[in-house]
Amino acid sequence: MTGDGESHAWVEIYDGVRWHGFDPTNNVPVEDSHIKISHGRDYRDCSINRGVFTGQAAQRQSILVEVTENGGASV
């Protein structure tokens, strides 16, 4: 899939009964392989980076997500 190992956004639509996620980058429904690290109304609500650099600056970001099976227990 495009975006594997990278972050990208998907949309969620409420049909009056339940939420449905859709990943337009890959043209697929959101499944268990999608991991949500942020939730909001738009990019400003979900921005992982915030701030302003002046002069010479550099930034590096790393996110580690570990997925484990919980044996069906509610979390």
pLDDT tens track for 34-67: 888 788 888 778 776 667 778 888 877 777 778 7
Residue 54 inside a domain? The answer is yes
Global confidence as pTM: 0.55
Give domain status of residue 19, yes or no.
yes
Does some domain include residue 32? yes
CB atoms within 10 A of CB 8: 13
Extract the runs of DSSP E, i.e. beta strands, from the chain.
Answer: 11-14, 19-23, 28-29
Domain hosting residue 7, numbered range: 1-69
pLDDT at 1: 64
Q: 74 in a domain, yes or no?
A: no
- Total domain count for the chain? 1
